[in-house]
Amino acid sequence: MFLHILKYELKNGLRTKDLIIWLILFPIGLGICFKVAFGGIYDKTEKFSTIPVAVVEESDNAAFRQVLDNITSADDPFLKVTYADRAAAEKLLDEGEVEGIIFSGDKLSLTVKEKGLPETMLKSFVEQYTVKEKIVTDAISTSPEKAQEVITALTENTASSCKEIPLTQGNPDVYIQYFYNLIAMVAMFGCNTGMHITIQNQANLSALGARNNCSPAHKSVSILAGLAGSFIMETFCMILCVSFLAFVLKVDFGERLWLVYPAAIMGGMLGVSFGFFVGSLTRVGEKAKVALMTAVSMLMCFCSGLMLANMKAIIEDKLPWFNRINPAAVISDSFYCLNIDEGYERFISKLLTMAAITAVFVFLGFISSRRKKYASI
Amino acid sequence: MEKTVVSIKELVKRYGDLIALDHFSLDIYEGEVFGLLGPNGSGKTTTINCLLSLLAFDKGDIEIFGKKMTPVSYDIKKEIGVIMQNVAVFDELTVYENIDYFCGLYITDKNKRSQYVEEAIKFVGLEDFRKFYPKKLSGGLLRRLNIACGIAHKPKLIILDEPTVAVDPQSRNRILEGIQELNRNGATVIYTSHYMEEVEQICTRIAIMDKGKKVAEGTKDELKRMIKNTETITIEILELPDRIKAEISSLPHIYDAQYAEGRLTVSCSGGKHNLIRVLDVLQKNELSFGRVYTELPTLNDVFLEITGKALRDKEE
């Protein structure tokens, strides 16, 4: 009986146009849009690269010049220095040719036009040098033969303090968050398949439900077969979605792509169980339920940052508990942990959270659906 | 002695203050085609839903095949086929798959099931539509699919709740013939409908419900004997003075005479020569008339007389 129902559950599900559109075509389309929109932004705007800077030498500062020469002659210099007089340097800054002007005199000073990552790094560089300059000048005055050695050490210290240090082997692109949320959204759309299980098994919700309730098939078997069918379909859709993003759109999920799959599948199960739970609760009609579920899942995705990347941070600030229970946020967090954290502790904890929420939803859904007779049909 | 298939005793179902079933009792015997008639809101579908243990009721007992019916009476459910008022099929499964799915809930043996599904397809005349999806079927074909899904497992008791709503005459005829064939093959049938002529055509016994109560029960002839009217005479006549109408009304066995739109309608209760007596009055007064016809009471007359002529939807 279980296999018979499961077989037709799968046949029916895989032929349902709405599911194909929302679980397969829509994420593919949105994934392409994201790729087109955000694909090159990080490389162009936020990825750390050589910072052009103008240096105006107001007085002789051999040590600083030596440090700059050492930095610019490195294999992967973080500064590209242009020596100029004040007027020329200001012109370069106005035209956007340089990110800032360092005035080298008795003291170092910095002029920038905007606020941003390059400007922050220039500021940090100037501050680092100023702090360590005295040590260098003292060393040169007491032991001139060690001047080169000290300058080299200063160069390395100052430059390294301003360089980007990767936290993990993951992808540091902040726009990857949109793709995490996209996967979370597909997972949440699984709620529609979950809701159909209830509709097909409750006599007060549909004619099909009434007919199924008249049959000798045990309700628990019908529901379990329905859940199994929905889990299988959702798993298929999640694998398809992640594979499309990773291999067709070449979205970089970091070194641990293989772990994105179980996280996505677990998220999909959470989505299905959420739909199953909500579907079993209220007595509104099928169309109203579909609309309600879509609205709720979109709201959850919105709160997890699908439409606005820093929304999750805003909610973390105002309603941190909501991020812990918002299924979409938990799903996207698991991908985030996978990409950012070196270890697996937080990732496993997120997976367990998803499994626990899934189990709770399935249990509550069963409790709500177990009603054998209805007050009205 | 006739074997009781369905026994409903003192069933009470309330929706808040509204009493949907008011101490409703009924016995249905093996081999019957039992018609359940009643105006909108009379409680027919509520009775069916209670009978199937879909709906909770406040009081009463229901037995099917001599056993108490509960939501977990799977052994009883195995022997029941249900055709609901609303079509209940999967849109994304073909005709064959739909029938196979529902038959599979009752019959686990694959070979037997396959045979039953084929027989059901032939029974409802959907041989050319095996691979069609429901949305490609006309209303009549869809109703036939709905029936096939309910009877493919060869149930002993078949419950049909208004199965011919919005069906063309050809499909309706086919469905009615099919129900009679199922009955000939041994199934007991419970049939609810608004169409009196359908019930008159196929049902061996009928109960009329109104406001949650059983107001009449019996065979067609028994029901017809329950009402006052035994004959209705209609005469096409150009003009009828009130004096002559009053004279006709005063004839023996005539309890009502109405004249409207060139037509005199005379209702009789008993008596043998009512038509001759009415025509005598017309001839005596030198009134010419056109066509004359007389009708015996139909189930519709029985229904209207017992349940009243007021519009029920309006009342509700």
Q: Are A289 and A282 in contact (CB under 8 A)?
A: yes
The pLDDT of residue B20 is 93
Strand boundaries in A148-252, DSSP class E: none
Q: Which of 66-85 (B) contact A at CB < 8 A?
A: 70-72, 74-75, 77-78, 80, 82, 84
d(CA B160, CA B150): 9
pLDDT beyond 90 at A371: no
- Mean per-residue pLDDT of chain A: 81
Nearest by CB to B56, which of A207, A214, A373?
A373
Which of helix, strand or coil describes residue B87? coil
For chain A, say whether B104 makes contact (Cβ under 8 Å).
Answer: yes
Q: Which of 108-127 (B) contact A at CB < 8 A?
A: 108
Mutate which: A8, A193, A196, A205, vs B, most B CBs within 10 A = A8
Q: Examine residue B161 and state whether it is found in any structural domain, yes or no.
A: yes
The pLDDT of residue B160 is 93
Residues B111 and B248 in one domain: no
CA distance A342 to chain B (A): 47
∠ at Cα A371 (A7, B98), nearest 5°?
Answer: 25
Residues B9 and B34 in one domain: yes
For chain B, say whether A212 makes contact (Cβ under 8 Å).
Answer: yes
Residues B148 and B105 in one domain: yes
Strand boundaries in B144-243, DSSP class E: 157-161, 188-192, 205-210, 213-218, 231-237
Chain A residues near residue B104 by CB distance under 8 angstroms? 1, 4-5, 8
For chain A, say whether B58 makes contact (Cβ under 8 Å).
Answer: no
Q: Examine residue B130 and state whether it is found in any structural domain, yes or no.
A: yes
Question: Which has more confidence, B60 or A280?
Answer: B60
Q: Examine residue B260 and state whether it is found in any structural domain, yes or no.
A: yes
Residue B229: φ, ψ to 5°: -70, 130
Which of residues B155, B188, B219 is at a domain's end? B219
pLDDT beyond 50 at A165: no
Domain A49-161 has CATH 2.40.128: no
Q: Could you tell me the residue ranges of all domains in chain A?
A: 2-42+171-370, 49-161
Nearest by CB to B55, which of A8, A215, A373?
A373
Q: Examine residue B173 and state whether it is found in any structural domain, yes or no.
A: yes
d(CA B103, CA B122): 15
Per-residue pLDDT reduced to its tens digit, B98-157: 999 999 999 999 999 999 999 999 988 899 999 999 999 988 899 999 999 999 999 999
Which of residues B219, B251, B280 is at a domain's end? B219
Residues B191 and B67 in one domain: yes
Q: Examine residue B56 and state whether it is found in any structural domain, yes or no.
A: yes
Q: Examine residue B16 and state whether it is found in any structural domain, yes or no.
A: yes
Q: Which two tokens stand for residue A78?
A: 């973080």
The pLDDT of residue A9 is 92
Per-residue pLDDT reduced to its tens digit, B31-45: 999 999 988 888 999
Q: Domain holding B269: CATH number?
A: 3.30.70.100
pLDDT beyond 80 at A78: no
The pLDDT of residue B315 is 42
Residues B239 and B99 in one domain: no
- Structural domain count, chain B: 2
Nearest by CB to B88, which of A4, A207, A216?
A207
Question: Which has more confidence, B63 or A165?
Answer: B63
Q: Are B92 and B85 in contact (CB under 8 A)?
A: no
Q: Are B13 and B55 in contact (CB under 8 A)?
A: yes
Give the domain extent around B246.
Answer: 231-296
d(CA A335, CA A312): 14
pLDDT band at B242 (very low <50, low <70, confident <90, very high): very high
Count of pairs with CB atoms under 8 A, one residue in A, one in B: 86
pLDDT beyond 70 at A136: no
Q: Which of 38-57 (A) contact B at CB < 8 A?
A: none
Q: Where are the alpha helices (DSSP H) in B227-307?
A: 242-249, 274-284, 299-307
The residue whose two tokens read 């609303």 is B86
Chain A residues near residue B103 by CB distance under 8 angstroms? none
d(CA A215, CA A162): 72
Question: B71 and A206 in contact by Cβ < 8 A?
Answer: no
C-alpha distances in Å from residue A262, one per residue of A242, A251, A257, A335, A343? 10, 17, 10, 10, 17
Q: Are A198 and A205 in contact (CB under 8 A)?
A: yes
User: B9: left (phi > 0), else alpha (psi -120 to 50), else beta?
Assistant: beta
Q: Are A74 and A122 in contact (CB under 8 A)?
A: no
Q: Which two tokens stand for residue B196?
A: 């009196």
For chain B, say whether A146 makes contact (Cβ under 8 Å).
Answer: no
Per-residue pLDDT reduced to its tens digit, B46-70: 999 999 999 999 999 999 999 999 9
Q: Domain holding B118: CATH number?
A: 3.40.50.300
Chain B residues near residue A283 by CB distance under 8 angstroms? none
- Kindly report the number of other CB atoms within 10 A of residue A205's CB atom: 23
Closest Cα in chain A to B101: A8
Chain A residues near residue B54 by CB distance under 8 angstroms? 203, 210, 213-214, 373-374, 377
pLDDT band at B194 (very low <50, low <70, confident <90, very high): confident
Residues B141 and B253 in one domain: no
Q: Examine residue B224 and state whether it is found in any structural domain, yes or no.
A: no
Helix or strand (DSSP H, E) at B166? none
Residues B105 and B209 in one domain: yes
pLDDT band at A44 (very low <50, low <70, confident <90, very high): low
DSSP β-ladder status, B231-237 and B254-260? unpaired
Question: A215 and B84 in contact by Cβ < 8 A?
Answer: no
- Rounded to an integer, the average pLDDT of B211-223 is 90
pLDDT beyond 90 at A320: no
Nearest by CB to B84, which of A8, A210, A372?
A210
Mutate which: B13, B101, B108, B153, vs A, most A CBs within 10 A = B101
CA distance B189 to chain A (A): 16
Q: Examine residue B119 and state whether it is found in any structural domain, yes or no.
A: yes
- Residue A205, CA atoms < 13 Å, CB-side half-sphere: 24
Which of residues B185, B219, B253 is at a domain's end? B219
Nearest by CB to B56, which of A12, A207, A374?
A374
The pLDDT of residue B85 is 84
Q: Are B174 and B144 in contact (CB under 8 A)?
A: yes
Per-residue pLDDT reduced to its tens digit, B279-307: 999 999 999 999 999 988 888 888 888 88
Percent of chain A at pLDDT above 90? 19
Nearest by CB to B86, which of A16, A207, A376?
A207
Q: Which two tokens stand for residue B55?
A: 């709906």
Question: A215 and B77 in contact by Cβ < 8 A?
Answer: yes
pLDDT beyond 70 at A343: yes
The pLDDT of residue B314 is 47
Chain B residues near residue A211 by CB distance under 8 angstroms? 82, 84, 88, 102, 149-150
Closest Cα in chain A to B91: A12
CA distance A332 to chain B (A): 33
Residues B51 and B85 in one domain: yes
